[in-house]
Homo-oligomer: A and B are copies of this chain.
Amino acid sequence: MASASPEPAATETGDSVKIRRLEIADRERGFLPLLSQLSSCPDLTESEFAACFANLAALGDDHVILVAEDPAAAPERRILSTGCLFVERKFLRGGGKTAKDAGCYKVILDCTPELRAYYAKCGFVEKGVQMAVYF
Residues in chain A within 8 A of chain B (CB atoms): 31-32, 35-36, 38-42, 44, 48-49, 51-52, 55-56, 59, 62-63, 65, 84, 86, 88-95, 100, 104-113, 116, 119-120, 122-135
Contact A122:B133 (CB < 8 A) given known A42-B94, A91-B31: yes
Check if A35 sits within 8 Å of B122, measured CB to CB: no
Check if A133 sits within 8 Å of B128, measured CB to CB: no
Contact A39:B92 (CB < 8 A) given known A107-B132, A112-B128, A130-B126: yes
Is the contact region of chain A dominated by helix, strand, or loop, or is it mixed?
mixed
Give Cα A91–Cα B84 distance, bound, in whole angstroms. Answer: 11
Check if A41 sits within 8 Å of B86, measured CB to CB: no
Of the candidates A36, A119, A131, the one having the most CB atoms from chain B within 10 angstroms of its own CB is: A131
Check if B105 sits within 8 Å of A134, measured CB to CB: yes
- Inside 8 A of A106's CB, which chain B residues have their CB? 132-135
